[in-house]
Amino acid sequence: MLSYTNQPNAARRMMRFTLDWLNRLKGVDVFFFFVVMLLKQLWFNRLIHVPNMDMNGYDTVVAIGTLALVTFWTFWLPTRGRIIALIVLDILLSFIMYADLIYYRYFQDFISVPVLLQANQVDSLGESIGTLMHAKDFLLAIDWLLVIPFAVYVIWKGRSDLRRDSYGYGYSSSPRKSSVWRKITIRVAVSAAIFAIGMTMSIGNVNEAKKTWALGLFDGNWWNVSLYNVTGIVGFHGYDIYRYAKLHWVDSEQASAEETAEALAFTETRGDNRQALESDPTFGEYKGSNVILVQMEAFQNFMIGKSIGGQEITPNLNKLVKESAYFSQFYHQTAQGRTSDADFLSNCSLQPLMSGSVFIQYPNHQYNCMTGTLKENGYTTAAFHAYEGGFWNRNTMYANMGYDTFYSKKNYTIDEPVGWSLGDTSFFRQSADIIAKQQEPFYSFLITLSSHYPFTMPEADQTLDVGELDGTLMGDYLQSIHYVDASIGSFIDDLKAKGLWNNTIVAFYGDHDNSIRDWSLFEKFLGQPLNDLQREMILKQVPFIVHLPDGKYAGTHTNVGGQLDVTPTLLHLLGISTADKTLLGQPLITSQPQSKLVVQRNGAFTDGTVYYMPSGDAVAENGKCWNIAANAPTDVQSCLGSVDDARAELSMSDQIVQHDLIASFRAAAVEASADGGEATAVSTSGAGK
Ligand code: GP9
Ligand code: MN
């Protein structure tokens, strides 16, 4: 029987044997590392269990490639150093995978640099962390039981062998110069080869995927989980660090003092305009009301009031627009960030980015979003969307915007699946139950999903007879819009039954167009040919419907507006001043309709009289100017006067978003008040937090 005191010696002998063996079979430690880490990645992939994502041949090749990229440099080290480096890498990568796993189970996303910079998001894991840890996760670290004691032994052995240099890698026993150089050359050559192989297997393959099945994924960046599907977990973190560094350190320059002052002056003018409207009787007319704001997926304005074969497509909204302030000349202003852009525009009243999404690229910058402002004013704030919480980086961005709670897919029972997720009828029903339990006053922001492209509805929910459009994208779109309309009808009934209809401002707007690009389908449905202006209006106009508790201001409002006017409109009605907030929009419900310019991300704009479409060469005079009433092109001179205003709005917004100028404005204001000087008229009230 082995005595207790003999055990350490046996263990030590075993370790010594292993070390000798690894030293003799050069590089076999790296081979083990690859096998172990590959198995862990396979296990990780199995544990996160993303639907439709299995580690196939492609993923394995990319995973080996990324492992080669994180290990190539270890060949520069002597055997013992390399073994320790590999063990450290093993512990580090396993730890990252484990952290990602826990985070994924809660947020359906992976930990990214912005998440790490925003500690309060991880905080929200809080009490539930215990339920997120499963016994089988232990396999991700099972090898630590052996490798950690082995690492300790190797370090200890290294120290005691230092004088003897028994492995001949420490250069302490003056080996021949030529043999040292030979070893260095071999190590550099091996590491260079591993690096080259790693690059080909990982980045080479990812680049191929980017040209084919992952086309546009790295530009859109809409979901980290989709990126993971292409890069693997190690590659994802490499890409995430690259993405962050490029955006925040390489591509970004600090805004100069002049640029900051210019942006401040620009937004102050907007604030002054809003302040002037605070003397209007509409300001504060609905002080203290709850607010429910619904962003409707791909809901275009041309659906309102339309019928097909004698059937109303949106009977519930048609009824609602008669009882509400309905804006018939209201535009979405989204760009590549689609749904997330609509959300940002409507809640934070700034323009979206030219490329990418603010939600993904600048989720930690400061904004004066409506959510945060309402929270500061005592509102309970919540967002509701029955899809993966990590999509469009909502988990991170919503925490920054000031939502107390974000109810995502995991908070819903998927009892009526439609398209991507839960059908809107059940989504509204389950959301209303949560809303009704909230502390008043509340702000609830809901995002629908059932009318998402390609609009495939279950047979039972296709209740319209779309005639010759049957089987076309347009036919499917009409079916889905009809279904969403019915869901909204039930939601309104539910709010009435719950006693919320009369003390809540309930507003709806469409997020963006339906992505159907076959104009013959629109023409068939509308029964007329469409010129460029009509197409643009169909594409860009979404409904904006504001139901006030007493039904006041009901009817069709023809003054123009855009998504960035949503926040100023609602805060104005609630009597919350936005004079010192960095917002671009203006209230749309005032006793006298205000004139304004609605600016699109591509530089197009309208004031309700003319519609300007820029030309591709960015020469203002080469753009096209339309007279809306005449539905015909007019002299470009009629539009040129506003081209610079539109461009200024876009560039000022970009400065603010990209250079985090709201943070600078606040810092300047704090400094000014600390100096006892006159505080600059900027928001000191936080970044929507
Ligand atoms: C998913 C939904 C869809 O959460 O917001 O986004 P989209 O594809 O319309 O931008
Ligand atoms: Mn959308």
Q: Read off φ and ψ for residue 542, nearest 5 degrees.
A: -125, 155
Cα-based angle 602, 603, 609 (whole degrees, multiple of 5):
125
Confidence of residue 169 (pLDDT cuts 50, 70, 90): very low
- Please give the pLDDT value at position 452: 94
Structure tokens at 376: 């500061």
**Options 3.40.720.10, 3.60.40.10, 3.30.10.20, 3.30.70.3270; which CATH number does 257-674 get?**
3.40.720.10
In whole angstroms, give the CA distance from residue 258 to residue 658. Answer: 16
The finding on whether 339 has its CB within 6 A of some atom of ligand 1 is yes
- Ligand nearest the Cα of residue 542 is 2
Burial class (CB in 10 A: 0-12, 13-18, 19+), 66: buried
Residue of the CA atom closest to atom 6 of ligand 1: 339
Burial class (CB in 10 A: 0-12, 13-18, 19+), 92: exposed
The finding on whether 394 has its CB within 6 A of some atom of ligand 1 is no
User: Average pLDDT over the chain, rounded to whole?
Assistant: 90
Closest ligand 1 atom to 452 CA: 9
Residue closest to 72 by CA, chosen among 187, 203, 208: 187
Residue of the CA atom closest to atom 9 of ligand 1: 339
Quote the crossing angle between the two packed helices 144-160 and 7-24, to the nearest 10°. 80
For CATH 3.40.720.10, list the domain ranges present in the chain: 257-674
Residue, of 88 and 29, whose pLDDT is higher:
88
- What average pLDDT does the segment 179-206 reach? 91
In whole angstroms, give the CA distance from residue 656 to residue 584. Answer: 11
- Please give the pLDDT value at position 439: 98
Contact 381, 439 (CB under 8 A): no
Contact 571, 578 (CB under 8 A): yes
pLDDT tens digits, 638-673: 999 999 999 999 999 999 999 999 999 988 888 888
- Please give the pLDDT value at position 161: 65
Quote the crossing angle between the two packed helices 473-497 and 519-526, to the nearest 10°. 60
The finding on whether 452 has its CB within 6 A of some atom of ligand 1 is yes
Q: What is the pTM of this model?
A: 0.82
Pocket probe for ligand 1: among 332, 358, 387, 408, the residue whose CB has the most ligand atoms within 8 Å is 387
How far apart, in Å, do the first and last CA atoms of the chain sit?
66
Contact 572, 283 (CB under 8 A): yes
pLDDT score of 119 more than 90:
no
Residue closest to 507 by CA, chosen among 671, 258, 294, 662: 294
CA distances to 95, 514, 640 from 298, rounded to whole Å, are 41, 5, 31
- Region of residue 25 (left: phi > 0; alpha: psi -120 to 50; beta: else): beta
Residue closest to 477 by CA, chosen among 446, 532, 515, 447: 515
Q: Count of residues for the chain? A: 689
- Please give the pLDDT value at position 402: 97
- Please give the pLDDT value at position 668: 84
In whole angstroms, give the CA distance from residue 91 to residue 95. Answer: 6
Residue 327 CA from chain centroid, whole number? 28
The finding on whether 379 has its CB within 6 A of some atom of ligand 1 is no
- What average pLDDT does the segment 663-685 reach? 67
Cα 477 to ligand 2 centroid, rounded to whole Å: 13
Is residue 307 within a helix (H) or strand (E), and if so which, with residue range?
Answer: strand 307-308
Mean pLDDT is lowest, of 44-53, 368-377, 416-425, for 44-53
Q: Give me the amino acid identity at 531.
A: N
Residue 367 CA from chain centroid, whole number? 15
Q: What is the DSSP letter of 249?
A: I
Q: Read off φ and ψ for residue 305, nearest 5 degrees.
A: 80, 5
pLDDT score of 184 more than 90:
no
- Please give the pLDDT value at position 5: 47
Q: Is 663 helix (H, G, I), strand (E, B) or coil?
A: helix
Cα 452 to ligand 1 centroid, rounded to whole Å: 7
- Please give the pLDDT value at position 252: 74
pLDDT tens digits, 472-531: 999 999 999 999 999 999 999 999 999 999 999 999 999 999 989 799 999 999 999 999
Confidence of residue 187 (pLDDT cuts 50, 70, 90): confident
pLDDT score of 171 more than 80:
no
- What average pLDDT does the segment 313-341 reach? 96
- Please give the pLDDT value at position 164: 54
Those residues whose C-beta lies under 8 Å from the C-beta of residue 77, and which sit 6 or more positions away, are 85, 187
Mean pLDDT is lowest, of 85-99, 163-177, 614-628, for 163-177
Structure tokens at 646: 């539109």
Contact 109, 124 (CB under 8 A): no
Residue, of 597 and 249, whose pLDDT is higher:
597
Residue, of 107 and 96, whose pLDDT is higher:
96
Those residues whose C-beta lies under 8 Å from the C-beta of residue 49, and which sit 6 or more positions away, are none
Helices (H), 78-212: 79-107, 113-117, 119-123, 129-132, 144-160, 177-199, 205-211
Mean pLDDT is lowest, of 420-424, 525-529, 611-615, 680-684, for 680-684
User: Tokens 């990418």 belong to which residue?
Assistant: 356
The finding on whether 229 has its CB within 6 A of some atom of ligand 1 is no
Pocket probe for ligand 1: among 221, 296, 392, 484, the residue whose CB has the most ligand atoms within 8 Å is 392
In whole angstroms, give the CA distance from residue 294 to residue 451. Answer: 14
Helices (H), 215-311: 217-220, 224-245, 257-276
In whole angstroms, give the CA distance from residue 351 to residue 337. Answer: 11
Residue closest to 341 by CA, chosen among 542, 614, 141, 525: 542
In whole angstroms, give the CA distance from residue 577 to residue 280. Answer: 12
Percent of the chain clearing pLDDT 90 (strictly above): 70
Burial class (CB in 10 A: 0-12, 13-18, 19+), 527: exposed
Cα 331 to ligand 2 centroid, rounded to whole Å: 15
Structure tokens at 338: 């689609």
- Region of residue 240 (left: phi > 0; alpha: psi -120 to 50; beta: else): alpha
Cα 39 to ligand 2 centroid, rounded to whole Å: 38
Cα 448 to ligand 2 centroid, rounded to whole Å: 9
pLDDT tens digits, 210-256: 888 887 778 766 678 888 988 999 999 999 999 889 888 887 778 88
User: Tokens 């509102």 belong to which residue?
Assistant: 379
Closest ligand 1 atom to 391 CA: 4
Residue 122 CA from chain centroid, whole number? 17
- Ligand nearest the Cα of residue 391 is 1
Contact 621, 634 (CB under 8 A): no
Residue of the CA atom closest to atom 7 of ligand 1: 339
Ion ligand 2: protein residues whose beta carbon lies under 5 Å: 297, 339, 511
In whole angstroms, give the CA distance from residue 594 to residue 604. Answer: 20
Pocket probe for ligand 1: among 336, 338, 455, 511, the residue whose CB has the most ligand atoms within 8 Å is 338
In whole angstroms, give the CA distance from residue 668 to residue 260. Answer: 10
pLDDT score of 173 more than 70:
no
Residue closest to 352 by CA, chosen among 664, 587, 665, 656: 656
Helices (H), 324-369: 338-348, 358-361
Q: Read off φ and ψ for residue 290, nearest 5 degrees.
A: -70, 160
Structure tokens at 381: 């704030």
